[in-house]
Amino acid sequence: MSTHATRPRLPRTTALTPGRGGQPRLLIDAPAGSAEIYLHGAHLTAWTPRGGKPVIFTSRRAVFDGAAPIRGGVPLCLPWFGAGVSGDRRPSHGWGRISPWQLRSVQSRSGGVQALFTLERDGIAALYSVDVGEELSLSLSLRRTGATGAEEPVEAALHTYLAVGDVTAVEVTGLEGTTYLDKVTGQAGQVQHGALHIVGQTDRVYASGAPVTLTDPAYGRSVRVAGVRAANTVVWNPWSAGAAALTDLDDDEFASMLCVESAVVGDSAVRLAPGESLSLGTRIAVAPL
Ligand SMILES: O=P(O)(O)OC[C@H]1O[C@@H](O)[C@H](O)[C@@H](O)[C@@H]1O
């Protein structure tokens, strides 16, 4: 594996081994929880708190070829989201999720494990910390490198795919009264009235990163997603029609997932001059109903 030369010391609760498609991935099996993180995209594809059920959804049709983005898990959208604020950026959601990241350090931490990843590309230095335990804590920072140059808009999202028992039965609270852009209809300035229920294709950028709770009666649990310095929460489900158009998502899988993404995107994009940084995180915790 290309990572061999820079492989850091690994605690005994972790291993760096080839995963699906022979792609290098860090396996974590610590007392407080287990996880799997591919170096392609620094992409977390699984997290299970000890004694619990898997919390993160990854598609059974996900492609692991070291080139395509992985469908599911936590894709890192950076340094732009979708087509960016200008609307013409490619690839969609930026290059973070399709780049090979460096694994810098892996440390045992209060029953869990913290892994640090870095990536430097196109004038951006990215640092990503994954804390695996009874909770999952993800922190991303992006710094403009170089000494001179104009400000540029930077966006980022922790595009978390949550595993749910039945998406039509989940209730999402914490967004009441918040305005959102509805990307399905193209309408901005919508207001969330009451709890959110998923009854069709859903693609919304909320103007809030406050904690959101997903109540999932089919799995008998609630999942709390708390943004850290996140101006936005994106909620996405492609529904059946959208899933049919995605070759890396089985037709029935839209019912087993809901993306709840802590983000800094769109109108909240941060204009960074060289030397300036943007930081963003998410904390995910599970509780029985
Ligand atoms: O298929 P992709 O590139 O992974 O994107 C999935 C979705 O990601 C969401 O976060 C976006 O709001 C959607 O518009 C998009 O369709």
Nearest CA to ligand 1 atom 7: 236
**Is-contact 265 180, C-beta < 8 A?**
no
Q: What length is written for the chain?
A: 289
pLDDT of the residue at 6? 67
Total domain count, the chain: 1
- Say which CATH number the domain at 172 has: 2.70.98.10
pLDDT of the residue at 1? 44
Structure tokens at 58: 């990854």
Structure tokens at 32: 């407080």
Quick one: what percent of the chain has pLDDT higher than 90? 97
How far is the centre of ligand 1, averaged over its atoms, from the C-alpha of 9 (Å)?
Answer: 36
Strand-pairing partners, residue 136, are: 132, 284
How far is the centre of ligand 1, averaged over its atoms, from the C-alpha of 29 (Å)?
Answer: 30
- Its domain, for residue 81, covers 4-288
Please write the tens of the pLDDT for every residue from 41-91: 999 999 999 999 999 999 999 999 999 999 999 999 999 999 999 999 999
pLDDT of the residue at 7? 84
Mutation pick for ligand 1 pocket among 57, 71, 93, 180 (CB with most ligand atoms within 8 Å): 93
Please write the tens of the pLDDT for every residue from 157-171: 999 999 999 999 999
The closest-lying atom of ligand 1 relative to the alpha carbon of residue 259 is 10
How far is the centre of ligand 1, averaged over its atoms, from the C-alpha of 203 (Å)?
Answer: 8
Please write the tens of the pLDDT for every residue from 131-187: 999 999 999 999 999 999 999 999 999 999 999 999 999 999 999 999 999 999 999
The closest-lying atom of ligand 1 relative to the alpha carbon of residue 71 is 4
How far is the centre of ligand 1, averaged over its atoms, from the C-alpha of 92 (Å)?
Answer: 8
Here the ipTM equals: 0.99
- Residue 284's SS3 state is strand
- Residue 86's SS3 state is coil
Q: Which residues line ligand 1 (CB under 6 A)?
A: 69, 82, 92-93, 159, 183, 203, 234, 236, 259, 261
How far is the centre of ligand 1, averaged over its atoms, from the C-alpha of 235 (Å)?
Answer: 10
List the single range of 2-6, 135-139, 205-209 with lowest mean pLDDT: 2-6
The closest-lying atom of ligand 1 relative to the alpha carbon of residue 204 is 12
**Is-contact 129 116, C-beta < 8 A?**
yes
How far is the centre of ligand 1, averaged over its atoms, from the C-alpha of 283 (Å)?
Answer: 21
The closest-lying atom of ligand 1 relative to the alpha carbon of residue 92 is 3
- The sign one gets for the Cα dihedral 55, 285, 277, 126 is negative
